[in-house]
Chains A and B, each alone.
Chain A
Amino acid sequence: MEKLNPIKKVNIICSKGAIEDVYAALIMGNGAVMEGIETNIFFTFFGLDAIIKKRMDKLHTAVVGNPALRLPGGLRMPTLLGIIPGMESFTSWMMKGQMEKLDVPPVSEFFDLITAGGGKVYACKMSVDMFKMTMDDFCEHVSGIITVGEFYEHAAGEGSHIIFT
């Protein structure tokens, strides 16, 4: 399907660190790489967890204060159930299993696919400074720690789009 104004570049900002937030950014990013679209993914605030070596494959989903979360069968998950020890780990484990069934890889493997196709991954300088981190904390897929201004420089160009998640 040839379009008149094709998307040439996507620049995704991932600002949250729950597993579904990170996957949303990675699926959109990987999908763009698969289409041959130039792709930059910028991780900021709690989104940084997705690129921190020790945390990236241990992300969780929120079981408290998540009104869309349902039990198998479709009943709403009561917030009080969410406070039971282990509930968050169990729910996150269930979710990862469901993703695996759809051929969605674990976070670190997802970055392998994205960078193999030429996608670029960046960390936000201000968040890195705030959380007192260095490049050593991040996985090898991260190209650099950049400022907001540099992010916009990377994002410049005709047919370029910015997506915030």
Chain B
Amino acid sequence: MAQKIYAGVTVDVNEEGYFTNPSQWTKEIALEIAKEVGIVLTDKHFAIMEFLRNRYNSGDALSVRSINHSGVIDVKTFYQLFPGAPLKKATKIAGIPKPASCV
């Protein structure tokens, strides 16, 4: 297992850089990962990441559809906040494993 240092903290990640131990995550760490992928985080980013982390912790699958039903933001905003591959980027910055869902 690989390790990385963010905000002075050593965290466990897989070969693609996704956290394998989500409890090691902090907001300071998120800011640094976001910088790596070229995103400046706002309150909206943190709100949807909190939704994703809660959903992950309760064992529910992460999908783009669940974002639309989150009540936090709609999918269009999600694509704007995390341009490119939003679910992958958002989960990486939110310190949770890469989603295994096809939708």
- A binding-site residues for B, Cβ under 8 Å: 1, 27, 30-31, 34-36, 102-105, 109, 112-113, 116-118
Contact across chains for A27 and B75 when beta carbons are under 8 A apart: no
A34 and B87 CA atoms in complex are apart in Å by 7
Q: Knowing that A34-B88, A113-B65 are A-B contacts, what are 7 other residue pairs whose CB atoms are under 8 Å apart, sorted by A's residue number? A: A27-B102, A31-B103, A34-B85, A34-B86, A34-B87, A36-B85, A109-B65
Residue of B nearest to A35 (CB): B85
Contact across chains for A36 and B83 when beta carbons are under 8 A apart: yes
Task: Specify which of A36, A103, A117 is in contact with B63 (CB 8 Å cutoff).
Answer: A103
Does B21 belong to the interface (CB within 8 Å)?
A: no
A1 and B88 CA atoms in complex are apart in Å by 11
7 smallest A-B Cβ distances: which pairs? A36-B84, A116-B76, A116-B75, A36-B85, A103-B63, A117-B79, A35-B85
A54 and B99 CA atoms in complex are apart in Å by 34
- B binding-site residues for A, Cβ under 8 Å: 16, 61, 63-66, 68, 74-76, 79, 83-88, 101-103
A27 and B65 CA atoms in complex are apart in Å by 12
Residues of B within 8 A of A112 (CB): 68, 75
Contact across chains for A103 and B61 when beta carbons are under 8 A apart: yes
Most buried by A among B75, B84, B87: B75
Residues of A within 8 A of B85 (CB): 34-36
Residue of B nearest to A30 (CB): B103
Task: Specify which of B16, B84, B102 is in contact with A1 (CB 8 Å cutoff).
Answer: B16
Contact across chains for B75 and A113 when beta carbons are under 8 A apart: yes
Given the contacts A1-B16, A30-B64, A103 and B79 also touching, CB distance less than 8 Å = no
In the complex, what's the smallest C-beta–C-beta distance from A100 to chain B, in angstroms?
A: 10
Residues of B within 8 A of A103 (CB): 61, 63, 65-66, 101, 103
Residues of B within 8 A of A113 (CB): 64-65, 68, 75
Residues of B within 8 A of A109 (CB): 65, 68
A79 and B86 CA atoms in complex are apart in Å by 44
Residues of B within 8 A of A102 (CB): 103
Residues of A within 8 A of B64 (CB): 30, 34, 113, 117
In the complex, what's the smallest C-beta–C-beta distance from A117 to chain B, in angstroms?
A: 5
A31 and B63 CA atoms in complex are apart in Å by 10
In the complex, what's the smallest C-beta–C-beta distance from B42 to chain A, in angstroms?
A: 19
A36 and B75 CA atoms in complex are apart in Å by 14
